[in-house]
Amino acid sequence: MARARLYAFVEGEVQMVGFRAFVVECADRLRLVGWVRNTRDGRVELVAEGEEPSLRALLDNLRQGPRAARVTAVKETWDDPTSEYSGFYIKG
């Protein structure tokens, strides 16, 4: 199965609602590696690597978000994996 790298920005009411922890939980369940962080402009940014079907499942989760979030857009970019991560974490 093909491995890939997903780079995404999630927009809407996505900060102060547990979104980063939600992403870590989803990524761990899907066996993805990478990171997630809040941006200064109110979005959530993330990089995830793994099997393409798992990354697409993560995208579906991002579009819904945790219960308290209101996602208005997910902007995604795909690339080749770099294999630089060994787990999935919240980045400072």
Catalytic residue numbers read 20, 38
Q: Are 7 and 37 in contact (CB under 8 A)?
A: no
Query: What residue has token string 């857009």?
Result: 73
Strand partners, 78: 6
Cα–Cα nearest to 63, from 16, 23, 4: 23
CA proximity to 39, closest of 12, 65, 62: 12
**Residues comprising the chain, all counted:** 92
